[in-house]
Amino acid sequence: MEKLSNPQVTIQIIKKYDFAFQKRFGQNFLIDGHVIEKIIKAADITKEDTILEIGPGIGTMTQYLAEAAGKVYAVEIDKNLLPVLAETLGEYDNVEVINNDILKVDIKELLGEDAGNVKVVANLPYYITTPIIMGLFENHIPAKSITVMVQKEVALRMQAAPGTKDYGALSLAVQYYAQPYIVANVPPNCFMPRPNVGSAVIKLTRWDNPPVKVNDEKLMFDLIRASFNQRRKTLQNGINNAPNLNFTKEQVVEALKEMGLPETVRGEALTLEQFARLSDLLGK
């Protein structure tokens, strides 16, 4: 069939199946072939690769993925899209559609032997961007890269450097696991229906080894979250007020002193290396 990136074809399919867009599932379908080609190019896909696509929608990007990759697993929550996908992906025998919530799927089990070769590619449902990305990292899914469309503001947060307004827990978490690179900005008119926000494609290339060494990853991330929980407060207050952390004020001040940082320092001033050091000092 003709590609769905042609908006007329998308409109025909939507009408034929009397499909009603579900806002609660973040359904904004791509209708721009150039944007899809940019995503495919950035993801650097070969026939050796297995792709995990999150939320294929009516299959617009899946058609391109199926042509470029060896195998595509496409996880879609909306069961109303299954008959549509059966038609739009009918000619590809290397696509498996899984009707499930991506946050509930055991991805390692799904991919089996293909897990080592996987690249994640998706136009993400924006309402669950962070849990999806953090889930992939924290469950240690061995994805080589994650190339995704996200809300522009979120892409900026993922790529932000210390001391900037976008810097926060998400920047640190993403940068601990991967190297972020914003591939393209994408305006609302590339989607149907148009989202209310700007979008961007970001590629996260997983580090072979994290860029910093830390004794207790979990403690470091608990400290990071606590430090940014109350943005305008000092790091020390954030850590003291965190119900899941049990450090005295003196312990935190002592650790900061040892690092040559003032008592009044805020979380946004610390680099990933400094959070790792703080975690090692407090965890001693």
Pick one of 13, 19, 30, 279: the residue that binds ligand SAM (CB under 6 A).
30
> How many residues make contact with ligand SAM (CB under 6 A)?
22
Radius of gyration of the chain (CA): 21
Contact (Cβ atoms closer than 8 angstroms) between residue 116 and residue 90: no
- Tell me the backbone φ, ψ of residue 274, rounded to 5 degrees: -70, -35
Contact (Cβ atoms closer than 8 angstroms) between residue 144 and residue 206: yes
Q: Binding of ligand SAM at residue 26 (CB under 6 A)?
A: yes
Residue 100: CB minimum distance to ligand SAM, A: 7
Q: Binding of ligand SAM at residue 61 (CB under 6 A)?
A: yes
Q: Binding of ligand SAM at residue 42 (CB under 6 A)?
A: no
Pick one of 37, 96, 101, 263: the residue that binds ligand SAM (CB under 6 A).
101
Instruction: Tell me the torsion sign for CA atoms 239, 242, 247, 250.
Output: positive
Closest to ligand SAM by CB, 191 vs 275, is 191
Residue 92: CB atoms within 10 Å: 14
Q: Binding of ligand SAM at residue 75 (CB under 6 A)?
A: yes
The DSSP output letter for 161 is P
Q: Binding of ligand SAM at residue 197 (CB under 6 A)?
A: no
Name the nearest CA neighbour of 16 among 72, 86, 63, 73: 86
Pick one of 40, 102, 148, 174: the residue that binds ligand SAM (CB under 6 A).
102
Residue 62, judged by CB atoms within 10 A of its CB (0-12, 13-18, 19+), counts as buried
Closest to ligand SAM by CB, 57 vs 168, is 57
String marking each residue 260-279 x if it binds ligand SAM according to CB under 6 A: --------------------
Please give the helix or strand (H or E) that residue 169 lies within, else none.
helix 169-177
Residues that bind ligand SAM (CB under 6 A): 25-30, 54-57, 60-61, 75-78, 101-103, 123, 125, 128
